[in-house]
Structure 1
C-alpha cells in the first residue's frame, strides 16, 4: 500500500485541501521519507518521536526557516493521525513534538493613495487584456479574495442584479462578497468586451487568457506584480499583498473585526487579528516620528 497516495486521497476527499496544499504536504512527507533513507512508504509505519526530532535538528542545521519546519511537521501530524484512524499505527509519534517559535511576520500592504493612483489612471488600455487586468486588480483590492479563489471564479458566481460575487474558499467554504460601485461598473464593461471577444458561449470561467482559456496563477501574479511595481516599492507585489491591503483598509475605516473575518473567509479570528498588529505598529511608528514627546 502506498501510504502517501492514501494520505493524498484523504486530504482531497475528507479535508478538501487545495491542490497547492496537497502538493506541499506530499512533498513534505516524501522529504521525511528521504531523511529516513527509504523509498518504501511502509517505513513511515515504524517511525519514532526520536526520528522526527532528528529530522527537525537536520532541517534546522541546514538553515531551513522555522515556518517551513512547522509546515512539514504539521504534515506529519496530519499523516499519522490519518494512519492511526486507519489502524495502521497505535499512536501518533508527532503529537508531542515541540516546535521552534515562528517569528511574527506582519503582512505588507499598499497605501490607499497608491491604489487610488493605480486604479484611476488609464495605463491599462481599453482592449480585452487591459480591461481584464484592471478588473483583476480591482477585484483583489475590493473583495480581498485569494489567488486560487480568483482563478476559480465562474460566470455563474457573479450576480449582476444583486451586485455580489460568490467565492469558493478553502475547504469548500462558500462566502458572498458585495461588489462596490466602481468594481461593478468595470465588471460590466469586462463582461461586454469578453462576449465581443470570445462570444456568448465561451468558457464558463470568468477570467480568460487572450486565447480564451482559463487564466493560470503565473499570469495573475505577473499582472499584479507589474501593476503594483508602478506605484509601490514594497518587496512583495503579489495578489496576497492586495488581500492584506483590502483588510487593512477595512480596519482603518472602522470595520468590525468579525465582519472582516467573514469577508476574508478566515476560519477563526486569530488569522484576522494580525491586521490589528499591523495597524497599531503603523500608528506607533507615526507617533514616534511626529509627536514631540515620543
Structure 2
C-alpha cells in the first residue's frame, strides 16, 4: 500500500480522497494537531466514506444531505457503538465540513443543525495522597536503571501534572536543574514551563547518572532498556500495574495522576488560574472539571467544622 508521511511522527495510508487529504494536511500544518488526533480524524472520515459507498453508492463526501449522516449515526448505535464514540466521529465530520465551508468547496454545512448524543457523565476519581506515597515508597527500594526510571515517571507525572504524551516527548535539554524548571511541549506545540520541586532533584540526578551509564546517546529524557524512546502503552502499564497494588479505583492511568495533581493543589488552596497554567489548558472551563473533587473536600470540612452541623446536635 502506498503511504504518505505527513509529519515526522505519523504515517497515514494514501487512500484518502483529495478533500480529506487537504483537511488532514490543514490539521497538521496549520492547526498543529497531535499525530494521534489527526490519525483519529482520518480513521473516522475513512469509515464514513466507506459507509457512504457501501450504503448509498456515494463516492464523495461533499454536498451530502444530513439524512445520510443521520443514517450512519443510527447504524453505529445499532452496532452498539457508545454515544461517546459516536460523538467523537461526529466531531470529526463537523470539523471536516467546517473546513470545506471555509475553503469554499461547499456552500452549505450538513452538520450545522446536528446535536450531540447524550452521554452519562464520567466521574473520575483521583488517587489520594496515601496511595501515591505508598507507590513511591514501594518503587524507591530498587536501584536498577528501569526501576529508577519508573519511579521518576510516577513522581514526575504527579509533581508536574503533565500529560502522558508530554512526558514521553521530554528531552534532556528540557530539564533545567540549575533553574529548577521543566520545559514542556503541550498540545499544538505550545510551550510552557513548570517549576521543579526540590523533592524531585535527587530522583532526577539518580536517573541521570544511570541513564548516562546505560544510554548516553539520544535526545529523549526517558529511555527504554534498549535505549529507545519510551512509548504510551509502557507508561500506561507501569502506572496501572503499580497503583493496582494499592488502589481499588476503577481507572488507574497516567491521566488519573494528572487529575490527582490538579485536585490536590486545589484542595490545598491553589488559585484556579495558576493550576490552569500549570496544566497547559487553553481555557478555564477545562480546569474547572477538577474543582468537583475540591468541592467534595470542602463540603466534608464544612460539615465537620461548622457549629450548626448535624453531628454537633
Cα gap change, 1:228 to 1:268, in 2 (>3 Å): same
Q: Where does 1:130-149 land on structure 2 (aligned, <5 Å)?
A: 130-149=147-166
- Give 2:255's aligned residue: 240
Q: 1:210 aligns with which of 208, 215, 225?
A: 225
Q: 1:126-275 alignment to 2 at 5 Å?
A: 126-199=143-216, 202-275=217-290
Residue 221 (structure 1) shift: 1.3
Runs (4+) of structure 1 exceeding 6 A deviation are 285-290
Q: 1:240: Cα distance to partner?
A: 0.6
Deviation for aligned residue 1:170 = 0.5
Cα pair distance change 1:102/1:122, threshold 3 Å:
closer
Deviations 1:53-89, CA, capped at 9 Å, x for gaps: 2222222333322221221111111111112222221
Q: Aligned partners of 1:41, 1:197: CA distance in 2, in Å?
A: 56
**Counterparts in 2 of 1:49 and 1:123: CA distance versus 1, 3 Å:** same
1:176 partner SS: strand
| Conservation of the 8 A alpha-carbon contact between 1:11 and 1:22 | yes
Aligned residues: 292
Q: Map Cα deviations across residues 210-260 of structure 1 (whole Å, 9 max, x no partner).
A: 111111111111111111112111111111111111111101111011111
Unaligned runs of 5+ in 1: none
Match of 1:47 among 51, 64, 80: 64
Counterpart of 2:95 in structure 1 is 78
Instruction: Say which SS state the counterpart of residue 45 (structure 1) adopts.
Output: coil
Task: Indicate if the aligned counterparts of 1:84 and 1:92 stay in contact, CA closer than 8 A.
Answer: yes
Do structure 1's residue 62 and structure 2's residue 79 form an aligned pair? yes
Distance of 2:130 and 2:310 partners within structure 1: 23
1:119 maps to: 136
Alpha-carbon offset, residue 280 of structure 1:
2.3
Given the two structures, how large is their TM-score scaled by the length of structure 2?
Answer: 0.86
SS in 1 for 2:156: helix
Instruction: Report whether the alignment pairs 1:36 with 2:52.
Output: yes
SS of residue paired to 2:225: coil
Contact 1:3-1:42 within 8 A present in 2 as well: no
> Taking structure 1 as reference, are residues 258 and 98 closer, same or farther at Cα in structure 2, changes over 3 Å only?
same
Maintained 8 Å contact 2:157/2:257: yes
Any idea what SS the aligned residue of 1:106 has? Answer: coil
1:101 aligns with 2:115: no
Within the candidate set 33, 36, 53, 1:20 is matched to 36
Q: Matches of 1:270 and 1:252 in 2, distance apart? A: 18
Q: Secondary structure at the match of 1:43?
A: coil
